Structure 1
Amino acid sequence: MSPYHHILVAVDLTEEANTVLARAKDIAADNQARLTMVHVIEPLSVAYGSDIPLDLTTLQQEITDQAHHRISELADRIDLDSQDQVVVYGRPEKEIHRLAEETGVDLIVVGSHGRHGLALILGSTSTGILHGAKCDVLAVRVGNK
């Protein structure tokens, strides 16, 4: 198997992101690969429906600011340059696939809680990433092991 050259690690900015990020960092180091970290913010109108009669602009900006701050903190822990820290808006699966294709990623690393039953039927972000990816995907087990 040829080594990976560009790894995209998708993080949700929880404490579990540290586990996923550490695994991606190790793989990148072993392969001398570029590592890019992404966090996808779902627009509030998508997450909560567009029928909310409120101006969500200020709240969306606060969420964005917090995401940039948190991704920067995570990146500092592993010495990841600012150009390899990405925060985007949209559906996580779609945006991660788009970014992976646009930047020539050959491995996507995501966290997975390994849900079963109803949660599996309803789907999850990691499942959506796996099924639409045009490159390898590594799901790192997080949460209750």
Structure 2
Amino acid sequence: MTSPYRKVLVAIDCSDESAEVLSRAAGVQEGTDGELHLIHVIEPLALAYGADVPMDVTDLQSGLVKQARDTALEYAGHYRIPESRIHVELGSIEKTILDKADDIGADLIVVGSHTRSGLALLLGSTARGLVPGAHCDVLAVKMDKRKKES
């Protein structure tokens, strides 16, 4: 039986956990000739901190984009994802992921999901925020600290 997922968009945050998310996405597509796409979204500093950023952050953001692209290329290399399928973009995280999924005709979005408590639970997660607006399936890979400790 082949996977129904021909185009998979993997959203990574460029942390160490990105490898686990990417591994799970690759496993979903194993044995198919489908496409893996990788996306990392950087929220513009003005969007993250309000429009009143007291300095020009253009150089800082350019540096963040370059660093994220280098990291994404490194992860992509382990799974032979061509550079044309690596997307590092500035924007609102959820909206940018959903827009890219629509642009490429993704059948599945794969994203890491953390067990949250307290304030983080109230604010929600990217994984939870993607589901209502997605035109395809969303796979949330649970990132559990207890797994790392064992």
Q: TM-score, normalised by structure 2?
A: 0.90
- 2:58 paired with 1:60: no
Q: How does 1:1-145 map to 2 (within 5 A)?
A: 3-116=4-117, 118-145=119-146
Question: Which shows bigger deviation, 17-26 or 28-37?
Answer: 28-37
For the residue of structure 2 that corresponds to 1:132, the secondary structure is coil
Query: Can you give the 5+ residue segments of structure 2 that lack an aligned partner in the other structure?
Result: none
State the alpha-carbon separation in 2 of the partners of residues 52 and 101 from structure 1: 32
Specify the SS of the correspondent of 2:37. Answer: strand
SS of the aligned residue for 1:64 comes to helix
Superimposed CA distance per residue, residues 25-45 of structure 1 (whole angstroms, 9 cap, x where no aligned partner):
111224432110000111111
| 2: CA distance, partners of 1:70 / 1:142 | 20
Q: Deviations over 1:13-34 (max 9, x none)?
A: 0000000000001112244321
Cα RMSD, aligned residues only: 1.6
Distance 1:115 1:130 in 2: 17
Long gaps (5+) in structure 1? none
> Which amino acid is 2:13 matched to?
D
Instruction: Give the 4+ runs in structure 1 shifted more than 4 A.
Output: none
* Seq. identity, %: 45
- Superposed displacement of residue 143, structure 1: 3.8
Q: Is the Cα contact below 8 Å between 1:7 and 1:24 reproduced in 2?
A: yes
Return the alpha-carbon distance in structure 1 between the equivalents of residues 108 and 32 of structure 2. Answer: 11
> Deviation of residue 130 (structure 1)?
1.8
- Contact 2:14–2:72 (8 Å) recurs in 1: yes
If the length of structure 1 is used for normalisation, what is the TM-score? Answer: 0.92
- Counterpart Cα distance in 2 of 1:108 and 1:36: 9
CA distance in 2, matches of 1:22, 1:101: 22
CA contact (8 A) 1:8 1:108 kept: yes
Quote the offset at 1:84 in angstroms: 1.0
